[in-house]
């Protein structure tokens, strides 16, 4: 299965040397249809002699379309300064054009550009089509043009499905900028941006529409990225927009079950000492493999010395995490529909099945029971029932795969993008996107940057089989945990004294609290909903680190204001300076 149709953008046709019939054959040989020929500009509401010229242009385009085998043309709302307004005037133009198109078996779709001179709203475009009252004249809807202007989506329901000739879909990040510039440079695949494309589609489906859904994407980054990745994301985004009865629904995530690390066999003793200093207790050995289970509170770490098939894979690194989902088999069916590659089965000793999926270097075990634990011999260890949970996992990806990673999580799982944040690094900007499920038991932070000198980029270069860069664990008593770390000899990241002077001035903390956080290298943040404490370890294997956090009241952020201080401290350890 794949794409079924292709639009012919006029400029692509004009710069090509092939004849229309030759292009038609290429499209047909690939098993595709030409769903649309576009765009036809500056048509309606033109005074003479420009009106006559517009009709002459249209006739010539219709002749080309007949040779191409294209049935529908997109006419976008007029942006010319020569245009004259008036709903009836425009409707008369389209009625006349409809008669010409009818004789050539062509259908005309009218689209309201968000920056059209007179028509910039699909409701007005529909009124023109309605008054034109011609079977060969309909409307084309574009999610960007509607959502960028915050037009009421309920209005789509008033359009008869047979008068909607094609629907173009695009998402985009929320920017406050000129609509034309925003559209031409920042559109992205549905699910990668911040526009409410899902609600747009639901209102469309409520009309009974069952025709072409097309991607209308203009994006500077996409023009230079890998075409195969772009095509995969485009297909995946369309599948994600399918009607509920056409595809298995997105998977509900219950929680993160465990994090798995790769390690060389000869380094197991070093890793054991590290995990002991973090408060983790070794509780089990795999019955047949060199795999060890560590636990601290509700956090499980699996150390896998079996995957070290070569020197690079043997480096100590977090490489996968396990997710408890509501139904593994349904998840795998959706993976198949979304073309999530490299689905592998890991058979346990008791013949139960654990599935590993991979996408853009992200490895995830899918679990819907605890049978995986039956493959371990458990030791008699007291875990002290400490209250430690997974808070979030942060991954680092190439800038070219950032949006692809966002779409992967949003299309496969029941989760949504919460925020976009720019993290300040002394060497540049790191883009950070936060994905969460509704219950906030699964949170992943996806970081990327275009500057190779940022810490995120530098650490990513040291990763070989995964892109997990830091793991945040949540406690309900950061000071008790910090005391435990001191007793166990854990070295935490040293924060500048100047930072705490600023915290004192900014938040006016009680003297004893300020003293404690300074003595223990704890970072602090607060907002109107609550407060937040953070402790970081130093870099481990020069490629990843741990974070321990405490959230008070309803604080829901990630301490982004503290990132520059954390990054500067880490860079000082690596390079001997802050930059």
pLDDT tens digits along 424-434? 888 899 999 99
Q: Are 317 and 355 within 8 A, CB to CB?
A: no
CATH number at 324 reads 3.10.180.10
Domain count, the chain: 3
Please report how the helices 87-103 and 122-132 are oriented relative to each other, as an axis angle in degrees rounded to 10: 60
In terms of domains, do 460 and 539 share one?
yes
Domain range for 327 is: 253-378
Give the chain's mean pLDDT: 92
82 and 189 share one domain: yes
What pLDDT is recorded for position 56? 98
Q: Max alpha carbon distance in the chain (Å)?
A: 92
H helix or E strand, kind and range, residue 354: strand 353-359
Q: Is the domain of 293 the same as that of 173? A: no
Same domain, 466 and 324: no
Give the residue-averaged pLDDT of 464-490: 92
pTM (predicted TM-score): 0.92
pLDDT tops 50 at residue 101: yes
Q: Based on the domain organization, do 19 and 124 belong to the same domain?
A: yes
If you ran DSSP here, which 8-state letter would residue 284 be given? E
Q: What is the CATH number of the domain that holds 72?
A: 3.20.20.150
* Tens digits of residue pLDDT in 49-82: 999 999 999 999 999 999 999 999 999 999 999 9
Residues 192, 52 within the same domain: yes
DSSP secondary structure string for all residues of 404-457: HHHHHHHHHBSEEEEEEEEEEETTEEEEEEEEEETTSS-EEEEEE-S-TTSHHH
**Per-residue confidence (pLDDT) for residue 311, from 0 to 100:** 47
Cα distance between residue 152 and residue 132, in whole Å: 23
pLDDT reading at 573 higher than 50: yes
Q: Among the listed ranges 32-46, 91-105, 160-174, 284-298, which one has the minimum average pLDDT value?
A: 284-298
Does residue 383 fall inside a structural domain?
no
At residue 570, the pLDDT reads 92
Burial (CB count <10 Å: 0-12, 13-18, 19+), residue 96: middle
Give the domain-ending residue among 246, 275, 296: 246
Residues contacting residue 561 through CB under 8 Å, at least 6 positions apart: 525
Domain boundary residue, one of 378, 411, 437 = 378
Q: Report whether pLDDT(46) > 90.
A: yes
Same domain (yes/no): 344, 450: no
Last residue of a domain, one of 378, 398, 432: 378
In a shared domain, residues 371 and 469: no
Nearest to 239 by CA among 248, 252, 230, 227: 248
pLDDT score recorded for residue 274: 93
């Amino acid at each position: 299965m794949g794409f079924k149709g292709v639009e012919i953008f006029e400029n692509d046709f004009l710069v090509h040397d092939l004849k229309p019939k030759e292009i038609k054959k290429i499209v047909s040989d690939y098993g595709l249809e030409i769903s649309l020929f576009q765009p036809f500009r500056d048509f309606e509401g033109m005074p003479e002699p420009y009106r006559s010229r517009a009709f002459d242009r249209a006739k010539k385009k219709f002749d080309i379309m007949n040779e191409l085998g294209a049935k529908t043309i997109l006419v976008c709302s007029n942006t010319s300064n020569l245009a004259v307004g008036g709903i009836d005037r425009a409707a008369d133009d389209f009625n006349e054009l409809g008669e010409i198109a009818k004789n050539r078996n062509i259908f005309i779709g009218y689209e309201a550009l968000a920056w059209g001179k007179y028509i910039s709203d699909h409701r007005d475009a529909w009124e023109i089509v309605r008054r034109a009252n011609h079977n060969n004249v309909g409307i084309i809807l574009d999610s960007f043009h509607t959502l960028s202007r915050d037009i009421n989506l309920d209005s789509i329901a008033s359009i008869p499905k047979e008068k909607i000739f094609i629907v173009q879909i695009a998402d985009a990040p929320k920017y406050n900028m000129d609509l034309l510039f925003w559209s031409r440079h920042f559109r992205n695949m549905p699910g990668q941006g911040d526009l409410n494309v899902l609600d747009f589609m639901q209102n469309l489906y409520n009309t009974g529409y069952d025709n072409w859904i097309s991607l209308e994407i203009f994006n500077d980054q996409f023009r230079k990225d890998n075409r195969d990745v772009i095509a995969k994301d485009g297909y995946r985004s369309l599948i994600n927009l399918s009607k509920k009865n056409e595809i298995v629904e997105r998977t509900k995530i219950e929680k993160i079950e465990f994090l798995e690390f790769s390690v060389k066999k000869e380094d197991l003793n070093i890793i054991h000492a590290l995990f002991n200093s973090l408060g983790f207790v070794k509780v089990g050995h795999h019955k047949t493999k060199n795999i060890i289970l560590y636990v601290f509170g509700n956090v499980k770490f699996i150390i896998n010395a079996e995957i070290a098939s070569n020197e690079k894979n043997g480096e100590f690194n977090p490489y996968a995490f396990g997710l408890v989902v509501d139904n593994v088999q349904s998840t795998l069916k959706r993976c198949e529909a979304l073309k999530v590659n490299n689905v592998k089965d890991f058979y346990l000793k008791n013949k139960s099945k654990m599935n590993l999926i991979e996408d853009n270097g992200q490895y995830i075990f899918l679990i819907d029971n605890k049978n995986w634990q039956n493959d371990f011999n458990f030791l008699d260890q007291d875990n002290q029932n400490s209250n430690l949970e997974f808070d979030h996992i942060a991954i680092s990806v190439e800038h070219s795969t950032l949006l692809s990673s966002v779409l992967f999580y949003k299309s496969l799982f029941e989760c949504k993008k919460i925020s976009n944040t720019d993290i300040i690094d002394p060497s540049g900007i790191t883009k950070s996107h936060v994905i969460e499920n509704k219950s906030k038991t699964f949170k992943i932070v996806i970081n990327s940057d275009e500057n190779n000198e940022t810490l995120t980029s530098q650490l990513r270069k040291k990763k070989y089989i995964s892109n997990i860069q830091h793991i945040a664990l949540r406690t309900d008593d950061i000071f008790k945990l910090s005391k435990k770390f001191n007793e166990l000899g854990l070295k935490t990241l040293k924060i500048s004294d100047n930072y705490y002077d600023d915290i004192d001035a900014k938040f006016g903390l009680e003297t004893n609290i300020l003293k404690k956080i300074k003595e223990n290298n704890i970072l602090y943040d607060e907002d109107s909903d609550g407060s937040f404490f953070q402790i970081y370890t130093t870099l481990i294997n020069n490629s990843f680190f741990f974070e321990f956090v405490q959230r008070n009241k309803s604080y829901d952020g990630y301490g982004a204001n503290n990132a520059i201080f954390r990054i500067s401290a880490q860079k000082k350890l690596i390079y001997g300076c802050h930059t």
